[in-house]
Amino acid sequence: MEPWQIGVFTSVDAGLGVHLDVAQELGIPTVQVHAPHQATRTKAAADDFLKRTRAAGITVTCVFGGFDGESYADIPTTARTVGLVPEATRAARIREMKEISDFSKLLGCSAVGLHVGFVPADRTGASYKSLIDAARGLLDHVAANGQNLHLETGQETADHLLEFIHDVNRSNLFINFDPANMILYGTGDPIEALKKVGHLVRSVHCKDGKWAAPELRGKEWGTEVALGEGDVGMETYLRTLKDLGYRGPLTIEREIAHDRERQKRDIGTAMELLQRLKAQIL
Ligand code: MG
């Protein structure tokens, strides 16, 4: 695959990201997709989606899982509800994530993505250890499908994410790096984080954000903004990716699904910015 192909985060039916027709209209060659709900994770739905992506000349590069009951309303709610960390829903979500891996295989896609949640800080605690076991079970299923699992960044510091990946100890566990999330969650300077985890980065989000006030970082969200208007520093981000030898897609993520027109406009602008930087840097 040509290096640094532009991509966009889309959705089969879950309402996140942009719709496929917008990607097609903008001439974007790759997409990451949010997995559809259980009722539509069928062979027929996969075939239909594949037919549409092929007709549009679009390659699916990663399928992201998400679950009912997750809420990103604020940081404490996110910590309580998101990913595989909450114990009450863990077993059911692992099962569902395995189904999402199977669905991704039907799409011919060799990567699945996930927000694992706020990994417990104490590496010796029971909650951490049971999370490691659950993750291993999932990764073995994903490996049997010939796939890798990419963990989204932001909910942990780069150092703790590395510890977790080390402890899970599976060769198909990698990272989807989202620089804006490091800022939004207040978990560290995105460029410093990228340098630390870069050897494990297999996909990236191109998203931007502004830090919350220093006393609020990690407690309240920073602000997601259009690409190039935030604190990430897109040129430094792309130069760092180049230095790390990253050649995968550059997937634009703009999380304002409630405002379709603005989302489409911002993605168009983001695409121009990335193409200009790509021409300069690559
Ligand atoms: Mg992201």
> How many angstroms does the Cα of residue 253 sit away from the middle of ligand 1?
6
CA end-to-end span of the chain? 15
What one-character-per-residue DSSP string does 187-243 give? Answer: ---HHHHHHHHGGGEEEEEE-EEEPPPGGGBTTB--EEE-TTSSSS-HHHHHHHHHH
> How many angstroms does the Cα of residue 181 sit away from the middle of ligand 1?
7
Are 58 and 29 in contact, with CB atoms under 8 Å apart? yes
* The pairing of beta strand 201-206 with beta strand 250-252: parallel
In this prediction, residue 20 carries a pLDDT of: 83
Provide the residue-wise pLDDT of the chain in tens; the chain has 282 residues. Answer: 899 999 999 887 656 667 788 889 999 999 999 998 888 899 999 999 999 999 999 999 999 999 999 999 999 999 999 999 999 999 999 999 999 999 999 999 999 999 999 999 999 999 999 999 999 999 999 999 999 999 999 999 999 999 999 999 999 999 999 999 999 999 999 999 999 999 999 999 999 999 999 999 999 999 999 999 999 999 999 999 999 999 999 999 998 878 888 888 999 999 999 999 999 999
| Domains, in order of start, for the chain | 6-281 (3.20.20.150)
In this prediction, residue 18 carries a pLDDT of: 76
**Residue 211, burial from CB neighbour count under 10 angstroms (0-12, 13-18, 19+):** middle
> How many angstroms does the Cα of residue 226 sit away from the middle of ligand 1?
13
pTM: predicted TM-score of the whole model, two decimal places: 0.97
Closest C-alpha among 181, 195, 267, 176 to residue 236: 195
> How many angstroms does the Cα of residue 184 sit away from the middle of ligand 1?
11
In this prediction, residue 12 carries a pLDDT of: 72
In this prediction, residue 102 carries a pLDDT of: 98
> How many angstroms does the Cα of residue 261 sit away from the middle of ligand 1?
20
Q: Which residues contact 68 (CB under 8 A, 6 or more apart)?
A: none
In this prediction, residue 181 carries a pLDDT of: 98
For 4, phi and psi rounded to 5 degrees?
Answer: 55, 45
> How many angstroms does the Cα of residue 174 sit away from the middle of ligand 1?
14
How far apart, in whole angstroms, are the C-alpha atoms of residue 282 and residue 266? 23
> How many angstroms does the Cα of residue 178 sit away from the middle of ligand 1?
5
Closest C-alpha among 55, 180, 29, 45 to residue 99: 45
> How many angstroms does the Cα of residue 33 sit away from the middle of ligand 1?
12
> How many angstroms does the Cα of residue 215 sit away from the middle of ligand 1?
24
Closest C-alpha among 70, 56, 66, 72 to residue 7: 56
Coil, helix or strand at residue 11:
strand
> How many angstroms does the Cα of residue 63 sit away from the middle of ligand 1?
12
Closest C-alpha among 157, 205, 206, 146 to residue 185: 157
What one-character-per-residue DSSP string does 129-174 give? Answer: HHHHHHHHHHHHHHHHTT-EEEEESSSS-HHHHHHHHHHH--TTEE
> How many angstroms does the Cα of residue 6 sit away from the middle of ligand 1?
15
Report how far Cα 274 is from the mean position of its chain's Cα atoms. Answer: 18
> How many angstroms does the Cα of residue 126 sit away from the middle of ligand 1?
29
> How many angstroms does the Cα of residue 64 sit away from the middle of ligand 1?
10
Residues near ligand 1 ion, CB 5 Å cutoff: 178, 205, 253
Neighbours of 128 (CB within 10 A): 17
In this prediction, residue 15 carries a pLDDT of: 60
